[in-house]
Amino acid sequence: MQLAGKVAVITGAARGLGRAYAEALAAEGAAIVAADLNDCSDTVAAVESAGGRAVSTTVDVSDANSCEAMAALAMDGFGRIDVLINNAALYAGLKGARFEHLDEAQWDRVMQVNIKGTWLTSRAVVDHMRGSGGSIINIASLAAVFGLPYGLDYVASKAAVIGMTRGMARELGSDHIRVNAVAPSAVMTEGTEEFFGEKFEKAKSVIASNQLIPHNLATEDLTGTIVYLASDASRFVT
């Protein structure tokens, strides 16, 4: 098992990609801290039914105290933190519009969760990784480099995550803490279906046709990359 003895904290783990990451890392031997504003009991049950170890916690990634409590739970339960997957983000429920018509309150909330949340969760775990090293994996989006019409708030937030990843990698390399970002195209999850709404089927076709490999991504298409970045196989990748 590639992750035996490691402990992974995963935000946004109640469903979709976050749950898939939890199950994949647990299958490779990692103990899982599944964190979300929503109930993660299904994620924990799936991990445990497959023979893995997991606990769940409620976290608001935009709140520093909530992030610190998440890290404390991981340390109390498992004694270490080796991996952080910053997966929590506002996406599914966003109301798209031309950039000049986007709702200002929505814009602010996206920045609070998608950018500040990535900073706060990373800040909460980093001292626990120092000395032993670790891997921080930020979930960005192809939208940040390709450009997603009618979603500038989301695009801007994920572009910031890519920039933060580069800056954090330079700061934390001397601590043997690796920081990487994964920027997938739209993955066929409940959240993506909610985001596109009645245009979902058309969006699937357009997205696939614009890719060099014309295939709509499923959660299992991402988990191999995540396991690699969490494991010692990527110990010089940052």
In the annotation, is 150 catalytic?
yes
Q: Are strands 54-58 and 31-36 parallel, antiparallel or unpaired?
A: parallel
Integer Cα distance of 83 and 179 in angstroms = 10
Amino acid at 169: A
CA distance 216 to 3: 28
Q: Yes or no: say if 101 and 74 are a contact pair by the CB < 8 Å rule.
A: no
Of 91, 150, 154, 228, the active-site residue reads 150
Distance CA 77, CA 74 (A): 5
DSSP states of 1-57 as a string?
-TTTT-EEEEES-SSHHHHHHHHHHHHTT-EEEEEESS--HHHHHHHHHTT--EEEE
Active-site residues: which are they? 150
